[in-house]
Structure 1
Amino acid sequence: MAYSTTTNTPSTRSLTTPPFLFFFPTVVAFLCLVSFFTSSTAFSSESRLVVSDQLSSEAEALLKWKASLLNYSVAALDSWKLTITSPSPNVSTMASSPISPCKWFGITCNKVGSSVVEISLPEAELQGTLHNLTFSSFPNLLRLNLSLNGLIGPIPMHIGSLSKLTHFDLSNNNLSGVLPLTLSNLSSLRFLVLHANEITGRIPLEIGNMKNLIKLSIGWNKFTGLIPPVLANLTNLKYLYLHSNEFSGSIPSEIGDLENLIGLALNQNKLSGPIPRSLANLSKLEKLHLYENEFSGPVPSEIGDLENLVELYLPQNKLNGPIPRSLANLSKLEKLYLYENEFSGQMPSEIGDLENLIELDLSQNKLSGPIPRSLANLSKLEKLYLYENEFSGLVPSEIGDMGNLIELSLGQNILCGSIPRSLGNLSKLENLYLYENEFSGPVPSEMGDLKNLVELYLPQNKLSGPIPCSLANLSKLDKLYLRGNEFSGPVPSKIGDMENLILLSLGQNKLRGPIPHSLANLSRLEQQ
């Protein structure tokens, strides 16, 4: 009987590996990997739980606030829910799935989706208060915009817990009360925009500690008291808008230390005293609005050093003295408003050097002397208001070279002589006001070339001769005032062709003859 030489020998058995020992290293490695991934998954789940807790806290705070609102845009806040219901694969049932607050309308989270960094709900029809919005639940909030809503009540003290906030906009609401002192805790804040509310009281001195502010806009409120000099500590400030309040006293000279200021609006308050010379230090300033206050004294000649100024609004004050010639240095100036003051003397001819000027309003002052011919250099000028002064002499014929002029108002002065024929060159002119002067002679027929004219006011002068038939060419004219002159002859029948005429005033002249039947064509006419 033959036997195998290897099957049963002890020496051979000791050299053969048992099957379970062959797989043992693989099993050990697998168990190690399972252990690693299990521990990693546990760690990841714990991490997600922490993030989930933060978002949960923020979501809870938002939902609590939503529940307290009296009204809101359903389209905007309908997404504010923790779950969303949708049809399941089995059409007969509905399934609920969780939804992240990061996907809610107006809510933005950080890149990893762990926390809310922005709440932006402008024009969301929100009505209610901020009292139930727990700001401390949002430790990472950077931007808060609730503008253009119907929020009422005060800004809560706990707003100071938003230590990382950079943008804060509650403008155009109905918020009231005083500014909380805790605002100064917002050390990272760059934009504080609270205009168009009903906030009262004084500006807290603590605002001077908000060194990162770039924009402070609190206009159209009910603030009172003095403008605090500590605002000069806000060295990064570019825009300071305190207009339309009840601030009183003088402008602190320290405002001139805000060397980065681009826009300064203090208009429509009860500010008084002189305009500080220190404002001339604001070398970057582009807009200076000081109108509707009680400023007095002369305009500092140093204002002419503001080489970047684009808008200078000083009307409706008690400023007096001559208009400083140094204003001609403002080569970038586009709008110069000095109306309703007590300026006297002649208009500086240097005004004609302001080649970028678009609007010039010197009306309702005590300016005298001739209108400078140099104004014709203002080739970009669209609006020229010189009415209610004491200008005398002739209207320079060069005014007819101002091809971009849309409005020309020279009424209520002592101007005399004939109306320059060159005014007929002002092809863009829409409104021409020459009333209450001493103009004489006929109305130039060239007036009929002003095809864009809408209003022509020539009353209370000494104009004579016939009413020119060419006026009928003014197809856009809706107001024609010729009252109180010495016009003679018949009313031209062609006046009836002026189909857009609403007001026609021809009284107190020497007109004669029948009233033209053609006037019946003036279907829009309201008064004759």
Structure 2
Amino acid sequence: MGGAIPDELGGAGCRSLQFLDLSGNLLVGGIPRSLGNCSKLEALLLSSNLLDDVIPPEIGRLSNLRALDVSKNSLSGPVPAELGDCLQLSVLVLSNPYVLVDGLNASDNGDVEDFNYFQGGIPDVVAALPKLRVLWAPRATLEGELPGNWSSCQSLEMINLGENLFSGGIPKGLLDCRHLKFLNLSSNKLTGSVDPSLPVPCLDVFDVSGNRLSGSIPVFLSKDCPSSQLLPFDDLVSEYSSFFEYQAIAGFVSSSLVMATDLTSYHSFARNNFTGTVTSLPIAAEKLGMQGAYAFRADENNLAGELQLGLFNKCNSSRGFIVDVSNNLITGGIPVEIGSLCSSLVVLGVAGNRLSGLIPASIGQLNYLMSLDLSRNQLGGEIPTSVKNLARLEVLSLGHNLLNGSIQDDISQLHSLKVLDLSSNLLAGEIPRALADLANLTDLFLDNNKLTGKIPAEFANAASLTKFNVSFNNLSGPVPTNSSAVGCDSVIGNPLLQSCDMYTLAVPSAAQQGRGLNSNDNDTVPVDPQNQGDNSSFNAIEIASITSATAIVAVLLALIVLFIYTRKCAPCMSARSSGRREVMIFQEIGVPITYETVVRATGSFNASNCIGSGGFGATYKAEISPGVLVAIKRLSVGRFQGAQQFHAEIKTLGRLRHPNLVTLVGYHLGESEMFLIYNYLPGGNLERFIQERSKRPVSWKRLHKIALDIAKALAYLHDTCVPRILHRDVKPNNILLDTNCNAYLSDFGLARLLGNSETHATTGVAGTFGYVAPEYAMTCRVSDKADVYSYGVVLMELISDKKALDPSFSPYGNGFNIVAWACMLLRQGRGREFFVEGLWDVGPHDDMIEVLHLAVMCTVESLSVRPTMKQVVQRLKQLQPPIRAHR
């Protein structure tokens, strides 16, 4: 069902209406204010539509309303304080990131995204509703401080305000919410400490991860947990609360170390600034029982002290136990009696701390253990033989420690093992052949040790193995063949191996040492600093000898490779000339292209043929033969950045094929000249299109088409390419048009490749001021969300008559830009003023405001709130103008 909700629905005929469910349709427009006349209405469910405008304050007149769900729409404006007059309201759902299922606002559109964009926070009068049981508003761009008035919260069971922009502290008023069982305040900007009087021990879910909280994780005050049966049974409330809790726990499982466990409760303090020592876990004994597993996360804080026995003293009361305190400052050893303390331990993560001593033998008593991560500590001694008893173990990560001895054969008894990481230790002896028999093993890391002997040939037949690394050991003999996992790049640093010689002599530089997650080199396996000095796999004389040999062999190999390349590879690239003036071709265009034809067609790069210029060179129009046009991008020789840009663009564009990306036809690299050859696009760039727009009327359909084309190109780079690609310089000048205003993304000189497991890269800030995402500019950490921000700015420029840093913004002060201008106009209800003159009169108003909301969503500060480019494409397709809209 599409169209708008008719105003007549709130007419005289609705006086007896009690239940209105319009969710899961394609309804557009606003929520009719006339619905405030339906005085007996108890449930208003409008989720999963295309509704925009605001939540009308007239809804506050519905004194019998028990449930209001407006999630998965495109609403904006403030949450009206008038909702505080709905004294029977039990369920308020403002946003919902989860996929809705049959039985709860079922929708045929499984991929509907939530684009609600609210301004301000939650009014105190809403938080104080006496019968409110579920308040659900994650990822809704809410801001300000959390409500301070929770005086009537005795019915409140679930609060989810995660992934918003709330600041300040956790309000004291929540201390009185005795029936609260779910509290998610994660990924906000909360500060201060956590009050020990909060009812955390009685909560099934307590999540304050990803904030700026400090102080210690308190020993919460012991309280008797009230039974949820004290509250009256309500089918609608139960349906919502059950669904939300299930989805929230499922999301926690998929995003954490928790594996195939029946998790029913978790408390997360991760990614904050907590200090001190955790002496006990914040869970009441009666909440454990044997009904399910419990997870505690406090990773990525500043916790210190020793690993306390109190972390495990309630463990045996639960059917499954998960503890993750990785990436802190914890010292001391692993408790010797851990096996008997916590027999139901399923996941233990203490990586990235300062633990020392031995791995206790009692660890073999943890019969239910599925993941053990002790990596990046200072643990010594041998791997205890009792590890072989962990029949359910799937992940064993002991890398980057000081472990010695050998890898025992009986480790092959771990038939469930999928990941084994023993890298960067002091392990010696041979690699057990039986490891190749582990049918489920996918990842094996044994690099940076002192292993000797041969690489077992059986690894060539290990079908499940996808990642294999034995680099920088003292291995000898042949390298197993016929395996996609075992290659030259996985055995470097073993000078006695009989094949892959051009790799085995490579000694990493100091800058490459350590298995850093932010390494920009995808082709080498670095050495850990712990293996240097006395504990190195090579002594100083060996390293000096290898380095000398490397210098000589590297020069010879480089000459050989260059000779082979020019004799064999160059013809495959369709070189059209030889020597220093050759042109390498990726895509044939029907006529030969040589260095001479390019120079002649551009008039020796005459300024009269220049059609654009950028930070690294100018672009020229060239008619190679009659009617055959190309664009030549000429780069300045002698500039390191220019050369770097040149190589990045070749590597990136040479293999990309997408209808909205420019085509790289070929390139030339010489001592005195270097240039790229593109397909010629006669429409110029988007910057010129915007500048000249006032000379001719432009339809909304055409602007929408340009926006969608660029969104598709970026979605392809982010989600389809392997490895993924960050453009890092999305701006109108780098978007080209053809005669039909089809848009093409160009200029990949600043592109950055991102591995599938990487969420971001750390690199020097690049791009153009005004389009660079604030988090990238401040931290040098760039992710695909930085491209999303740049796209949002471009989208704003496309539909307005302002530039990103328009001179007309000067009266508003420093730092005011087009993003701030859009937010200001939307807040003040003046959205129509944003659009270029004349567009509002001919375009679909609702869709135009929706696109403006989408642009603002792309530029919000919180990365978790920004949509992905795939989501942007989905939303723009939903707002596709009909054919008759073309003018």
Place the TM-score, normalised by the shorter chain, in its bin.
0.7 to 0.9
Q: Does 1:338 align with 2:325?
A: yes
Paired position in structure 2 for 1:105: none
> What is the deviation of 1:283?
6.2
1:232-270 residue CA offsets vs partner (Å, 9 max, x unmatched): 1111211121111111111112214x6643221111111
1:249-306 residue CA offsets vs partner (Å, 9 max, x unmatched): 11112214x6643221111111111111225557699421111111101112475865
1:57–1:137 CA contact under 8 A, matched in 2: no
Return 5+ residue gaps in structure 2 as ranges. 1-9, 97-115, 227-263, 289-293, 502-521, 525-887
CA 230–421 in structure 1, closer or farther in 2 if over 3 Å, else same:
same
> What is the deviation of 1:134?
1.7
Q: Does 1:318 align with 2:302?
A: yes
Residue among 258, 273, 279 paired with 1:300: 279
1:451–1:476 CA contact under 8 A, matched in 2: yes
1:160-207 residue CA offsets vs partner (Å, 9 max, x unmatched): 121111111112432221221221452111111111111111122212
Paired position in structure 2 for 1:270: 212
Residue among 456, 459, 462 paired with 1:468: 456
Residue among 130, 152, 159 paired with 1:209: 152
> What is the deviation of 1:515?
5.2
Paired position in structure 1 for 2:755: none
> What is the deviation of 1:340?
0.6
Matched letter for residue 389 of structure 1: N
CA 305–118 in structure 1, closer or farther in 2 if over 3 Å, else same:
closer
Paired position in structure 2 for 1:166: 90
Paired position in structure 2 for 1:177: 120
Matched letter for residue 351 of structure 1: I
Mapped to 2, the partners of 1:282 and 1:197 lie a distance apart of: 34
Deviates more, 1:315-324 or 1:498-507: 498-507
> What is the deviation of 1:472?
2.1
> What is the deviation of 1:442?
0.6
Q: Does 1:419 align with 2:407?
A: yes
Paired position in structure 2 for 1:11: none
Matched letter for residue 271 of structure 2: E
Paired position in structure 1 for 2:467: 479
Whichever structure has more helix as a proportion of its residues is 2
Paired position in structure 2 for 1:186: 129
The structure that has the greater radius of gyration is 1
Q: Does 1:347 align with 2:325?
A: no
Mapped to 1, the partners of 2:301 and 2:285 lie a distance apart of: 21
Q: Secondary structure at the match of 1:232?
A: helix
Q: Secondary structure at the match of 1:464?
A: strand
Q: Does 1:506 align with 2:449?
A: no
Mapped to 2, the partners of 1:488 and 1:499 lie a distance apart of: 20
Paired position in structure 2 for 1:370: 358
Paired position in structure 2 for 1:94: none
Aligned 1:416-495 pairs, distance under 5 A: 416-491=404-479, 495=480
> What is the deviation of 1:57?
9.4
Mapped to 2, the partners of 1:305 and 1:194 lie a distance apart of: 27
> What is the deviation of 1:410?
0.4
Mapped to 1, the partners of 2:497 and 2:128 lie a distance apart of: 79
Residue among 377, 392, 399 paired with 2:380: 392
> What is the deviation of 1:138?
2.0
Mapped to 2, the partners of 1:282 and 1:415 lie a distance apart of: 46
CA 455–260 in structure 1, closer or farther in 2 if over 3 Å, else same:
closer
Mapped to 2, the partners of 1:470 and 1:305 lie a distance apart of: 50
Q: Secondary structure at the match of 1:183?
A: helix
1:214-235 residue CA offsets vs partner (Å, 9 max, x unmatched): 1121111111111122211111
Whichever structure has more strand as a proportion of its residues is 1
2:201–2:220 CA contact under 8 A, matched in 1: no
Mapped to 1, the partners of 2:409 and 2:221 lie a distance apart of: 44
Mapped to 1, the partners of 2:277 and 2:469 lie a distance apart of: 37
1:333-352 residue CA offsets vs partner (Å, 9 max, x unmatched): 42110101111111113332
Paired position in structure 2 for 1:36: none
> What is the deviation of 1:426?
1.4
Aligned 1:46-65 pairs, distance under 5 A: 53=12, 55-56=14-15
Mapped to 2, the partners of 1:217 and 1:282 lie a distance apart of: 24
1:201–1:222 CA contact under 8 A, matched in 2: yes
1:472-522 residue CA offsets vs partner (Å, 9 max, x unmatched): 23112122111110001222xxx3222466884111113343459xxxxxx
1:159–1:183 CA contact under 8 A, matched in 2: yes
Paired position in structure 1 for 2:49: 124
1:280–1:302 CA contact under 8 A, matched in 2: no
Q: Secondary structure at the match of 2:348?
A: strand
Paired position in structure 2 for 1:31: none
1:451–1:473 CA contact under 8 A, matched in 2: no
> What is the deviation of 1:452?
1.6
Matched letter for residue 51 of structure 2: L
Residue among 361, 364, 378 paired with 2:349: 361
CA 406–462 in structure 1, closer or farther in 2 if over 3 Å, else same:
same
Mapped to 2, the partners of 1:305 and 1:192 lie a distance apart of: 24
> What is the deviation of 1:127?
2.9
Matched letter for residue 211 of structure 2: N
1:370–1:391 CA contact under 8 A, matched in 2: yes
CA 474–388 in structure 1, closer or farther in 2 if over 3 Å, else same:
same
Q: Does 1:234 align with 2:198?
A: no
Matched letter for residue 206 of structure 1: N
Matched letter for residue 359 of structure 2: I
1:244–1:268 CA contact under 8 A, matched in 2: yes
1:292-337 residue CA offsets vs partner (Å, 9 max, x unmatched): 1111011124758656451111111111111111223222142110
Between the two proteins, what is the percent identity of the paired residues?
30
2:472–2:494 CA contact under 8 A, matched in 1: yes
CA 501–471 in structure 1, closer or farther in 2 if over 3 Å, else same:
closer
Q: Does 1:288 align with 2:267?
A: yes
Mapped to 2, the partners of 1:184 and 1:461 lie a distance apart of: 58
CA 527–452 in structure 1, closer or farther in 2 if over 3 Å, else same:
farther
1:123–1:148 CA contact under 8 A, matched in 2: yes
Matched letter for residue 268 of structure 1: G
2:128–2:149 CA contact under 8 A, matched in 1: no
1:129-171 residue CA offsets vs partner (Å, 9 max, x unmatched): 21x3521342211111122332222101211121111111112
Mapped to 1, the partners of 2:384 and 2:283 lie a distance apart of: 27
> What is the deviation of 1:384?
1.0
2:40–2:64 CA contact under 8 A, matched in 1: yes
Return 5+ residue gaps in structure 1 as ranges. 1-50, 67-71, 82-100, 102-108, 517-525
1:228–1:252 CA contact under 8 A, matched in 2: no
> What is the deviation of 1:386?
0.5
Mapped to 2, the partners of 1:506 and 1:419 lie a distance apart of: 18
Deviates more, 1:373-382 or 1:360-369: 373-382
CA 180–480 in structure 1, closer or farther in 2 if over 3 Å, else same:
same
> What is the deviation of 1:383?
1.2
> Number of aligned pairs?
424
2:57–2:81 CA contact under 8 A, matched in 1: no
**Structure 1 runs (4+) greater than 6 angstroms displaced:** 282-285
Mapped to 2, the partners of 1:302 and 1:137 lie a distance apart of: 45
CA 364–485 in structure 1, closer or farther in 2 if over 3 Å, else same:
same
Paired position in structure 1 for 2:143: 200
Mapped to 2, the partners of 1:218 and 1:514 lie a distance apart of: 58
1:479–1:504 CA contact under 8 A, matched in 2: no
Mapped to 1, the partners of 2:446 and 2:265 lie a distance apart of: 38
2:213–2:274 CA contact under 8 A, matched in 1: yes
> What is the deviation of 1:77?
7.5
Q: Does 1:252 align with 2:183?
A: no
Mapped to 1, the partners of 2:433 and 2:26 lie a distance apart of: 62
